Structure 1
Amino acid sequence: MKCQAMRFGQEQQPLLLVDDFVPEPDSLIDYALTQQDVQQAGGLYPGLRSAAPPGFAQWMQQRLAAVLQPVFGLPATGLSQLNCFYSLVTTAADQLSLPQRLPHFDRPQQQELAAVLYLCGAEHGGTSFYRHRSSGFEYVDQPRLGQYQQQLSAELQQSPEPKGYINGDTALYQRVLQIPARKNRLLLYRCSSLHSGDIPADYAYDENPWTGRFTITAFWHNQRT
């Protein structure tokens, strides 16, 4: 396991990049293929989801316990699991809702974390983090939520964002960091950070976990929030 901590953007948000995170990543794909609970995702995720192996989020948290405090200022004992699931991008660009075409935050909480473990390679696109140009926000927490929503709503009425997946600068957003996908690479970041998956314009929507954009996503709640 190779860990790299960084801060990005003008607001210096923390991020942890870990390569070679799981001893046998192919075993996670094998397990996914045995599951029967695959469903169209709710919320903003543009594809299919199913439950990750039982206890996997706790295992991830334990494996990362030593770095949570120095990188994010959070003790591992202060976090509890929210969700952990397999995710596979299957929604074509012309079928996206407006919110799916924008950078998003998972929850407006700086003390909560999100993780993405890639079970695919760089050809499927990585993850980018963004700045909302007019507000300068690179994260949205509760104190910023109202202002951000009001500004964005007014801007979208005047200048709708382009169709399709965001994958770089637009009139409303500027990309501040791009992390390429790599099999068995984990990204850990604050749930409040504005981000989006990098889905190429010519992406082929492959529903095979061995050859598609397949990841495991986990969220951790801070027990004090």
Structure 2
Amino acid sequence: MEVEVHEIGRSKSKVIIIDDFLTSAQDAVDAAAALPAFPPEGRTAYPGRRHQIGPGDKASSCVMDILKTAGPLIQSHYNADDFRVLEASYSLVTIPPEKMSPRQRVPHYDWDDPDYLAIMLHLHRVPHTGTAFYRHVASDLEQVRHDTVTEFRKQAQAELSNPVSTGATLNTHYEQIFQVEGCFNRLVIYPGCLLHSGYFPPDFSYSCDPRTGRLTANVFILTARGSG
């Protein structure tokens, strides 16, 4: 494994990148391909399809491998004594930009708790796609936390509701501060309160097939301190 730790933006938020993460990454792809077709994501604004991984699921071994290997890095770099899993899934981006809602076309945060971490393992070989991180220009926020979420939502919604900014929202209202390309078997860990968005090449296929699409394994955890 090759580990890089980046402190990004003015907030010096830690983003961890680990290459050659799993010894059995192709097995994780095969397990995803053996599942029934992923259903469309209906709970969040994720622009695609997801297979939720719960206890006893055939794909749960992939989640355990991710947590077992990444656990020590999470504990040391995010000052975490312990953590618990909130959600895990296989995910495929399948909705092209012209069919996305305005909300899906701008950066987002996962949760306003700085102890909430997103873990994403890239299980595809689609080039020139990954995750970019942003600063919201009007609020100067890179992280959306408990004490700033109300004001951020108000400003972001006003921007989305302004027809003048439609089509230029990303460039006008958000400044990119960092990006991570999604290479096969690369794991990325970052605080879920960071503003971020996926990026895709012009010829991206938006495939629903785990063997050819932008397949990722996503795990969301909540860290805790002072428990051991």
TM-score, with structure 1 as normaliser: 0.90
- Show the 5 A alignment for 1:18-167: 18-36=18-36, 38-42=38-42, 43-52=44-53, 53-75=59-81, 77=82, 79-123=83-127, 125-158=129-162, 159-162=164-167
Paired position in structure 1 for 2:56: none
Q: Deviations over 1:104-145 (max 9, x none)?
A: 101111011101110113515011000001111001011110
Are positions 1:211 and 2:216 aligned together? Answer: no
Paired position in structure 2 for 1:3: 3
What one-letter code is carried by the residue in structure 2 that aligns with 1:207?
C
- Show the 5 A alignment for 1:189-204: 189-204=190-205
What one-letter code is carried by the residue in structure 1 that aligns with 2:151?
Q
Query: Is the contact made by 2:33 and 2:209 (CA closer than 8 Å) also made in structure 1?
Result: no
Query: What RMSD in Å do the two structures reach over aligned CA positions?
Result: 1.9
* Unpaired runs of at least 5, structure 1: none
**Which segment is superposed worse, 52-61 or 196-205?**
52-61
SS of residue in 2 equivalent to 1:135:
coil
Equivalenced residues, count: 218
Residue 37 of structure 1 and its aligned partner are, at CA, apart by: 5.9
Query: Is the contact made by 1:113 and 1:219 (CA closer than 8 Å) also made in structure 2?
Result: yes
Q: Which runs of 4+ in 1 moved over 4 A?
A: none
Residue 102 of structure 1 and its aligned partner are, at CA, apart by: 0.9
CA distance in 1, matches of 2:202, 2:63: 32
CA distance in 1, matches of 2:19, 2:50: 23
TM-score, with structure 2 as normaliser: 0.88
Residue 56 of structure 1 and its aligned partner are, at CA, apart by: 3.3
CA distance 1:73–1:223, shift in 2 (3 Å) = closer
Query: Is the contact made by 1:128 and 1:197 (CA closer than 8 Å) also made in structure 2?
Result: yes
